[in-house]
Amino acid sequence: MPEHQLANQTTSQQGEALQQTTAAGPAAASGGAGNAAAQGVMQRKQVIDGIKTWLVTEGAALAALQGAAKVRRIEGILGVVERASAALMAGQPFDLQTLPTAPEGAGAALGAAIAPELIFSVRPLVSALEGPIAQAQEVQGGGGAEGSRYTATEWNTRLGLPEYRTQSDNLAAPEATCNVTSFSMVLERLGVGRAELMQQAEEKVRSSWIDAQVAARKMTRARGAELKADPSLLAAEPSWDPDAAWRAEARKYIDATMNDVGYRRVRGQHSVSAADRDAMAGAFRADAQMEDVLDFLLHKAGVSRTSIMGDAASTLNTLGMGAKAETETLWNGTWADISAKVQAALEAGGGAALSFRHKGTQDRGATHIVAIQAVEGDGFRVDDPYGAVRADYNPRASDDAYWHKELRRVRDPKTGKPVMREGLVTERSVQKNSVNGLNDWGAASARQLEAEESKGASSFISSDIVVKGMQYIQIFNRPKPVNVPLPRPRPAGH
């Protein structure tokens, strides 16, 4: 986003978050049990409200800063939020008097996850570090394709703060990849980012190249095994070209995607030219966003993307991340039970996702997956990769969560006269994110979402829709909470 919009957006979004919490009352802020049971629900609410108020003040002060000073201040704010969240995550008290004025620099990572109630308020600050800041010196490579431009930090994974991700800008099947998109947001909540997935993808590409060399009898099996055991030896192989190997593997993935049914093809296109496929394959290694890399890895492993959330434990094991979370699937339950379990997981730094029937009775088997950001009052604050669910959507009627209602001129059956009546619009939708052209994919595009591409960001699904429409809720519990030393209160008068 343009830098001049940052301070206004940051302040307005943080203020909106504070107003939402205040207006909704204690139930909205606390949600359920979790670590709040140990420290007191009201105490947690007071801490969260105090931090949100502090964030609004600190966010407003950013308008007067630029360059390195602005970067240091944003990182300082994020570091304070990290320390406060670590205390909340561990069920420890946090003294609001320790909140500093004009913090600078974040310090060392604490291995904690941001309190779920703060995600909405803090996102604009992380996004600012991923975009242009006037007079700030960018670091070559920075925090990676999806990280800060100014330090070697990927703040989303450091804070366990999932970036909003829309499936509409995915390379493969933008109309059918809610699964990998929501799973990526859950992984970020667990502290896993694009860099970790790319490490695995690099290994897969190397292994495929070695296997091809052995199959073509250009390399002995013994040498192939030696290279797999110690990839650093590849540098001595004159025919090894990592960029060429990546292009070849990415092209295979793209071609396989084009063999799928219509809307599940690359960018949802019926056909994509060889030249465009080559260009995409050449850009994939540097530009593919996290969910693209995840989809690539699943393709290499022969795992259907449609099964990954329902069998989350298996997916984590396939990715070599089985130790990141213990999974639990909820197939039904009352809102009180469901929300309490989700809240407990989120407060302890874990993640959650909802699979629900989004086409009502017209297609009972059709389901959609969203990442749960927080429990908020009588529903979930979610990151919906497809769009925003209509508030009055009825899962038990012939309906669609992403159709919308509008006044239309119809003929009154009794009088025969034209009248304006509200009705469902089925042929188009103002609820869903837009899928743009062939080239609107990759990490750079995902950092510059238009309003039409982010309708599902921090959207809301009521408890009524959840209970009536849920297929399941997948919970990802972090193995252990963290314990961190807390800052001492400031002396009086400071």
Quick: pLDDT tens for 321-374. 999 999 999 999 999 999 999 999 999 999 999 999 999 999 999 999 999 999
Range in 13-27, 35-49, 132-146, 241-255 with the lowest mean pLDDT? 13-27
Q: Is residue 490 part of a domain?
A: no
Burial of 252 (0-12, 13-18, 19+ CB in 10 A): middle
Tokens 């896993």 label which residue? 192
Provide the pLDDT for residue 424: 86
Q: Is residue 134 part of a domain?
A: yes
* Inside any domain, residue 14: yes
The tally of domains found in the chain comes to 3
One domain, residues 340 and 300: no
CB-CB contact of 373 with 162 (8 Å):
yes
Residue 489 lies inside a defined structural domain of this protein: no
The answer on pLDDT for 486 being more than 60 is no
Q: What is the mean pLDDT of residues 403-429?
A: 85
**Same domain, residue pair 154 and 219:** no
* Mean pLDDT, residues 163-168 taken together: 97
CB 60 within 8 A of CB 124: no
Q: Are residues 149 and 9 in the same domain?
A: yes
Backbone CA torsion sign across 191, 193, 195, 201:
positive
The verdict on residue 285 lying in a domain is yes
* 30 and 146 co-located in one domain: yes
For residue 22, name the pLDDT band (cuts at 50, 70, 90): very low
Residues 269 and 374 in one domain: no
* Among 270-279, 374-383, 401-410, the least confident range: 401-410
φ, ψ for residue 182, nearest 5 deg: -70, -35
**CA distance linking residue 492 with residue 238, whole number of Å:** 68
Cα–Cα distance, 152 to 149 (Å, whole number): 8
| 267 and 206 within one domain | yes
* Residue numbers of the domain that contains 444: 324-477
Same domain, residue pair 424 and 469: yes
The pLDDT mean for the chain works out to 90
Q: In this structure, is residue 8 part of a structural domain?
A: yes
The answer to whether residues 13 and 125 belong to one domain is yes
The Cα–Cα gap between 13 and 8 comes to 8
The answer to whether position 428 is within a domain reads yes
* 85 and 183 co-located in one domain: no
Nearest of 304, 209, 308, 193 to residue 250 by alpha carbon: 209
Examine the domain organization and report whether 51 and 127 are in the same domain. Answer: yes
Q: According to the model, what pLDDT value does residue 18 have? A: 39
115 lies in the same domain as 203: no
339 and 226 in one domain? no
How large a percentage of the chain has pLDDT more than 70? 89
